[in-house]
Structure 1
Amino acid sequence: MRFKLILAFVDDDKTDALLDAARSAGATGATIINNARGEGLKKTRGIFGLEITSQRDVLLFLVEEHRSRHILETIAEIGEFDDSPGTGIAFQLDVEDALGVKHQIKTLSDHLQDEL
């Protein structure tokens, strides 16, 4: 079985909605890294010229490759990544090998056979 790693960098107030959406799209779980800091094309300045940074969460989803594109598109839609600049980004990477997912492979295989 082949996997993809989806990484999403999002405003922390959207984390729960994206986790729910990813699960409904086929993700079986996620790892969340809190309190990340991001920077776009231009630094945002506020009062007295101080730099404004918002808290970001990094969401990591190890997903079966046949479901990955649908999950990625669902995350982007719910997060409004293409509609509102600065709300977040998501991308996927190929995973060469994964350990510790043996317990999920049987369940994923059964679900995929039903879908295909």
Structure 2
Amino acid sequence: MRFQLILASVKSDITDKVVDGAKAAGATGATIITARGTGLREAKTFFGLSLEAQTDIIMFLVEEHVLQPILDAIGTIGEFHKPGTGIAFVLPVDQVIGLESQIERFKEEARKKYF
């Protein structure tokens, strides 16, 4: 089994929609980390306090065979084609521990897809 890590940075008001869409496309779960970011444009301020919207980093550890549909769902729901809406990227994962309870499910899904 080969795993990939999808990291998606989205505005917190759409985090639940992105997670639900990723699950519908094959993700088995997600980890959400609260963050803040900066982009090409300066954040608006009010008396020196930033008015930036909160950003969430959503992590999806997925098996390689379901990567593309999940990534497509994230991009579509997050409207990443519009400037300043978010970004997602994929990192390879060399080793994984702690997924023993899900390994049989992953194997069964892979068998269905390829056989």
TM-score normalized with structure 1 length = 0.91
Structure 1 residue 99, shift from structure 2 partner: 0.5
CA displacement 1:13-46 (0-9 Å, x = unmatched)? 0011001100000000010112x10111121335
Structure 1 residue aligned with 2:33: 33
- In percent, how many aligned pairs have the same letter? 50
What pairs with 1:6-85 in structure 2 (closer than 5 Å)? 6-34=6-34, 36-46=35-45, 51-82=50-81, 84-85=82-83
**What is the rounded CA distance, in whole Å, between the counterparts of 2:108 and 2:49 in structure 1?**
54
1:4 aligns with 2:4: yes
Check the 8 A contact 1:43/1:51 in 2, yes or no.
no
**What is the rounded CA distance, in whole Å, between the counterparts of 2:46 and 2:96 in structure 1?**
47
> Which structure 2 residue ranges, 5 or more long, are not aligned?
none
**What is the rounded CA distance, in whole Å, between the counterparts of 1:13 and 1:45 in structure 2?**
18
Structure 1 residue aligned with 2:88: 90
Determine helix, strand or coil for the equivalent of 1:14: helix
Task: State the superposition RMSD in angstroms.
Answer: 1.5
Worse-superposed segment, 47-56 or 60-69:
47-56
**What is the rounded CA distance, in whole Å, between the counterparts of 1:59 and 1:48 in structure 2?**
31
CA displacement 1:29-85 (0-9 Å, x = unmatched)? 010112x10111121335578643110111000000111121111100110011x21
**What is the rounded CA distance, in whole Å, between the counterparts of 2:3 and 2:40 in structure 1?**
31
Q: Which of the numbers 83, 108, 111 marks the counterpart of 1:110?
A: 108
> Which structure 1 residue ranges, 5 or more long, are not aligned?
none
Check the 8 A contact 1:6/1:72 in 2, yes or no.
yes
Determine helix, strand or coil for the equivalent of 1:90: strand
